[in-house]
């Protein structure tokens, strides 16, 4: 009996490996607004183990929370997409953290030329495991096997910042203004990054001031050189 169960587990892990792919993408714009996009792609094998009512439940709860929800069918894959726009970071925080759980902290340093944001926190996917298990068809697959399937799924988090002035970070990948982390479904994933927001007005003022100073120095040097030249000519004439 045990050998049959072990064999079934190995077969399920082999068949379902890579069958689920999730992506969370947060875009922060220059005006301070944000767009959050969540997507999950499932192939036909993975959908066999989902409760048939889950799509309707996700749709109704997403709309109640202000998200738009839609599905796209591409070949044998179904993609579930959620999107919501936030005017401010505070609005997003109050909307997503209903239990007031603070998962991220930001250390802000102000200077004349820029503001430095040092952000640290974690994405704790295991907290959502119970919810995911409740939404599966338990008659189709026992909970221990469903946990194995979740372990074989993959999820990544992308953060797009308004400029490429990114400092130190622990992301797995970086391209332009976007950082990408591979998120574990079994343990919390630490997120750390630094971002420098330039104060363009102050930079322009400082730049203009520097140009004026350099121009004055050049003018003074040229004027002194001209005076010395005139003095030298007058001496020769005498």
Q: Find the mean pLDDT for residues 36-60.
A: 76
Query: Residues 43-49: contacts with CB within 8 Å, 24+ apart?
Result: 43/19, 43/76, 43/77, 43/78, 44/76, 45/15, 45/16, 45/19, 46/16, 46/19, 46/20, 46/149, 47/78, 48/140, 49/136, 49/137, 49/140, 49/141, 49/146, 49/149
Query: Residues 97-106: contacts with CB within 8 Å, 24+ apart?
Result: 104/191
For the chain, give every domain's residue range.
2-198, 207-238
pLDDT score for 80: 85
pLDDT score for 4: 40
pLDDT score for 9: 41
174 contacts 166 by C-beta, under 8 angstroms: yes
Rounded Cα distance, 82 and 68, in Å: 6
160 contacts 25 by C-beta, under 8 angstroms: yes
pTM: 0.71
Residue 193 has pLDDT above 90, yes or no: yes
Model confidence pLDDT, tens digit, residues 20-33: 788 889 999 988 89
Model confidence pLDDT, tens digit, residues 50-95: 666 767 777 887 788 888 988 888 877 888 888 999 998 778 877 7
Model confidence pLDDT, tens digit, residues 120-140: 988 887 766 655 555 555 545
**What are phi and psi for residue 109, nearest 5 degrees?**
-120, 120
């Amino acid at each position: 009996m045990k050998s049959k169960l072990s064999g079934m587990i190995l077969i399920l892990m082999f068949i379902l490996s890579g069958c689920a792919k999730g992506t969370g993408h947060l875009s922060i714009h220059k005006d301070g607004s944000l767009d959050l996009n969540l997507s999950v792609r499932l192939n036909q094998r993975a959908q066999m183990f989902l409760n048939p009512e889950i799509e309707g439940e996700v749709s109704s709860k997403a709309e109640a929370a202000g998200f738009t929800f839609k599905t796209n069918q591409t070949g044998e894959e179904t993609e579930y997409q959620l999107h919501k726009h936030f005017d401010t970071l505070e609005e997003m925080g109050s909307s997503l953290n209903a239990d007031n759980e603070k998962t991220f902290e930001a250390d802000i340093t102000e200077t004349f030329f820029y503001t430095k944001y040092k952000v640290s926190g974690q994405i704790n996917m295991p907290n959502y495991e119970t919810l995911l298990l409740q939404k599966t068809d338990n008659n189709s697959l026992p909970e221990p096997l469903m946990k194995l399937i979740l372990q074989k799924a993959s999820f990544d988090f992308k953060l797009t910042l308004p400029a490429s002035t990114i400092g130190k970070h622990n992301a797995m990948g970086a391209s332009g203004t976007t950082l990408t982390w591979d998120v574990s479904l079994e343990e919390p994933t630490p997120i750390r990054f630094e971002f420098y927001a330039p104060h363009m007005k102050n930079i322009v003022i400082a730049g203009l001031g520097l140009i004026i100073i350099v121009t004055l120095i050049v003018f003074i040097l040229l004027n002194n050189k001209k005076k010395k030249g005139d003095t030298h000519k007058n001496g020769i004439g005498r």
